[in-house]
Amino acid sequence: MGKQRDSFIGEIAVIEHQSTPRGRNYFMKYVKPGDPEYKVALMEWALMNTKLTYEEIKENICS
């Protein structure tokens, strides 16, 4: 089991990977509001967990 950590409101967990000579190494990365990757992570989460269309999500998140 991994270590438990404190979470923050609005934080999104993102699976990242690194290529290594033995294959891929996967790890969890957390993005918070204000991070450069946050809008992309929020859009991906909304596409997977809501019935909104891509256009509706983009209009609401990117505006």
- Side chain identity, residue 25: N
Determine the average pLDDT of the residues in 6-24.
82
Q: In the predicted model, is pLDDT for residue 58 greater than 60?
A: yes
Average pLDDT over residues 36-57: 89
Using CA atoms, how far apart are residues 30 and 15, in angstroms rounded to an integer?
A: 9
Judge residue 8's burial from the number of C-beta atoms within 10 Å of its C-beta, 0-12 exposed, 13-18 middle, 19 or more buried: exposed
Structural domain boundaries, residue 41: 12-61
Q: What is the mean pLDDT of residues 28-55?
A: 89
**Total residue count of the chain as it appears in this document:** 63
> Is position 4 within any domain?
no
* Residue 52 CB contacts under 8 Å (≥ 6 apart), including other chains: 46, 60
- The answer to the question of residue 3 being in a domain is no
The number of distinct structural domains making up the chain is 1
What mean pLDDT comes out for the span 20-36?
Answer: 88
Task: Indicate whether 5 belongs to any domain.
Answer: no
Q: Of 53 and 9, which is predicted with more confidence? A: 53
Residues 3-27 have a mean pLDDT of: 81
pTM: predicted TM-score of the whole model, two decimal places: 0.63
